[in-house]
Amino acid sequence: MARMTVLPSTPGRPGDARSPGPVASPSEILRLAEGVQLIGETAGSGYRQPPSLVRRADGQTIQLTPLLYLVLSHIDGTRTVDEVAARVSEGFGRTVTPDNVRALVDRQLRPVGLLVRPDGSQPEVRKSDPLLGLRFRYAVTDPERTRRLTEPFARLFHPLVVTVVLAAFLGVCWWVLVERGLASATYEAFDKPGLLLLVFVVTVLSAGFHEFGHAAAARRGGATPGKMGAGVYLVWPAFYTDVTDSYRLGKGGRIRTDLGGLYFNAIVAVAVAGVWWATGYDALLLVVATQILQMVRQLLPLVRFDGYHVLADLTGVPDLFQRIGPTLRGLLPWRWGDPKSTVLKPWARAVVSLWVLIVVPVLAFSLFIIVITLPRLLGTAWANLGKQAGLTDRAWLDGDLLEVAARVLAIVALAFPVLAIGVVLARLVHRILTTTWRRTTGKPLRRALAGLVAVVVIAGLAWTWWPRTGTYRPVQPYEGGTLVQAVSAATSGLPPLSPAGATPTGLVEGQRGRMVTAWPDENERPTREKPKLALVLVPRGYDPGAGGTTSGTSPARGYDPGAGGATSGTSPDTPPPPGPDAGAGTEPGPDPAGGAAGGEPAPPAHPWVFPFDRPLQPGEGDNQALAVNTADNTVAYDVAFALVWVEGDVPALNRNEAYAFASCTGCAAVAVGFQVVLVVGENHIAAPQNIAAAVNYDCVNCLTYALAAQLFVTLDGPLSDAGMAELTALWEQIEAFGTRIPDVPLSEIQARLDDFERQILQVIEKDQGPLTGQPTPAIPSGAAEPAERAPGDSTTSSTPGPAPGPASPDGASSAPSSPEEDGTPTGGGTAGDTGDAGTRPEGSTQPSPAEPSPAEPTSAPEPTSAPMPPSTAEPLPGG
């Protein structure tokens, strides 16, 4: 959620770029600047004298006193200065002269860009640029589109729905965090990169859905949400929704808007728990954990998260960061009576003061920690970037695309925070320098003092960031990482624990130190990651203060001096070796029997085993169902339904494909592709293609079934609203059927799809009259010749079960292939392409054996190895 920073109205300074220029004359007609909106007084304000808000065309919100707002509200583009003064006097209850109005206009309203200039030109405005604001904004929707997208979700804020969802969310949280746990979910996610990517994608999408919650909550209260988009906040990318218009709402409506995003996070958690219940993938439970973490983070009121906006709306102070300076100055005893320190109500002033006293030290200390630990962060990021790059190359050579995608995401996750920290520090330095330079103009003593402070800060940074030994050393897993250790490392420059040049004095029980040890040349040196046992002999009656020496290794963390004198130690200068399973990733399925020799990662459990290339990804306007099964005793379904509109003279080259491949024992793969192509208007290039392929390879007791059905219709023009509504309702029924296909007998699927095709044609004919051409049945043979058809505007094609191969222009197709009963490896088939107009081949559904292919299988990741839910696609017409 994002609300535009609220700025107080301040008089223009000499030389300010926003200075209004010539003063208003008595006869001048005052006009508002283009796009200025009067929001009004904020309900439940924490100010003694509640201010009013005004929003400019650029989205900037400005806080005005009641008198300024009254003047602005009487400026309608037809009144002169004298007329405005008369109106304001009536409403204000006191005499306001034209000179007063001219002073307010020239010193307050024009400098902030609320009125046009005296010459009639629009003012030059400058938006606020808060240090902790959202940067690099990119709007995806405009306010009107945001309203249309989010208005249906406003119904989710019905009290009954909210009660049910929150109760379910609390139950899911208790079950996941207290009873079930996340161990199995974490293991499965990291064991199967595909599931890890799925968790990442769902988490990112849930962040966007979070913003839908803010917009829907604003719509529920009667406000109009603005643009939606993405940007960078602090060090991470973030979505945003402009809900500045929610200032029109009361306190309850604003707080509901603030919490709407968290409510939608709860909806995502409950929905994902339902998907887990249906599929059994434990990795999905990590999404529930990420939603909880997002909610906890959003509730922190330290920066402009949801918790910050909740606190601002509870206190009635629109922008808390604008109150930091006045609040700190007001805490000084000699400033207690300053009018600027008493503008807030006592209770609001107490809450804001407490917030300032917490936030300022926390942010200052966070900045200090970032500065002193930046060398270690850079060293760690650089080392891990190199490691991830190596793992990416290995995964690319292995053909493991999922592993490649996971490693690329890891590289982005490592690089982006470092770059963002650099941007934040650069902006902070620039802001401090420009502000100091402006405030010390004409004050040489203060400028000299500021220069001295700058020199001291630069010297401190040089000392902290100077590339000494160990300064840029990557963070190791054995390091504690406490605040005390971070400060100590920065201030000491990582010196040796014993005095330089001093002779080691031996190990003392309970003390950490460094010792000189002797190791054979042929032995590998120990490290903290791979320690070795060493025997430390301590003479009887040994006095550590007597300067005696001994040999051994420095004790590792958790050293127990009572364990017989044996301890494990490491050499901190030795880099940690890569883990034996670094970069290894497997597809869903049983684990391999054992790892490769020499600690090499095991090969993928399910490579692409078929003697032909994987089908290409569908292009724009195409539809593809791809079911691949290499897991024994499982069934893989893939269903793809698509309604495609082709407008204008765009080439209609739409492809509808269904591929079912299996290489397993006691398994099945079913692919169903159904595509309806509606061409609006005259089209000179139409070559739709309908392809189905079913292949069994190295299979025992397995079944593959592929069905591709395509309906191609040319319309004289767009459907009427009634026809479009009827077609939409029918397509919803078709989609519902697609979700139930795993429960439908295979022998009934094609008949059901044929019935849907007839219903679609009936809807079109009802709306536009009889079509000029009608489909005719084809010869029901496995290699049938196409039936002749009169020229027309409607064609349908249905291809059950052929294997991949070159397209057949005559529409020939074959039945889905199946293995021999004795378990002999089988493969092969024929191709079916019924893209030519006027063909409707139908194949036999009896399984037929095929010959084994001698081709060598290629290596590629396996997309499906377990029952998959059906998927549907519905490209809708634009406009």
Instruction: Compute the chain's Rg from CA coordinates.
Output: 36
Cβ proximity of 212 and 264 under 8 Å:
yes
Q: How far apart are the first and last CA of the chain?
A: 29
Residue 271's contacts (CB-CB under 8 Å, 6 or more residues apart) are none
Looking at residue 537, its pLDDT comes to 60
Residues of the chain with pLDDT under 70: 1-27, 127, 129, 131, 235, 477-517, 528-529, 534-607, 772-879
Cα(589)–Cα(584) distance, integer angstroms:
15
Looking at residue 609, its pLDDT comes to 86
Cβ proximity of 643 and 608 under 8 Å:
no
Cα(317)–Cα(46) distance, integer angstroms:
6
Cβ proximity of 778 and 786 under 8 Å:
yes
183-191 and 285-298 helices cross at what angle (nearest 10)?
110
**% helix, strand, coil for the chain, step of 5:** 40, 15, 45
Cα-Cα-Cα-Cα torsion 749, 750, 756, 759, nearest 10 degrees, comes to -140
**Structure confidence by residue, pLDDT tens digits, 658-685:** 999 999 999 999 999 999 999 988 778 8
Looking at residue 474, its pLDDT comes to 82
Looking at residue 600, its pLDDT comes to 43
Write the CA distances from 290 to 190, 212, 237, 450, 557, integer angstroms. Answer: 15, 18, 16, 45, 32
**DSSP code, position 576:** P
- Tell me how crowded residue 493 is: count the other CB atoms within 10 A of its CB: 13
**DSSP code, position 107:** I
Looking at residue 586, its pLDDT comes to 33
**Structure confidence by residue, pLDDT tens digits, 100-141:** 888 888 888 888 888 888 877 888 877 676 767 777 788 888
Looking at residue 540, its pLDDT comes to 54
Q: What angle do CA 761, 763, 765 make, to 5 degrees?
A: 65
Exposure letters 48-82 (e unless 16+ CB within 10 A, then b): eebbbbbbbeebbbbbbbebbbbbbbbbeeebbbe
Helix (H, G, I), strand (E, B) or coil at 37: strand
Looking at residue 486, its pLDDT comes to 61
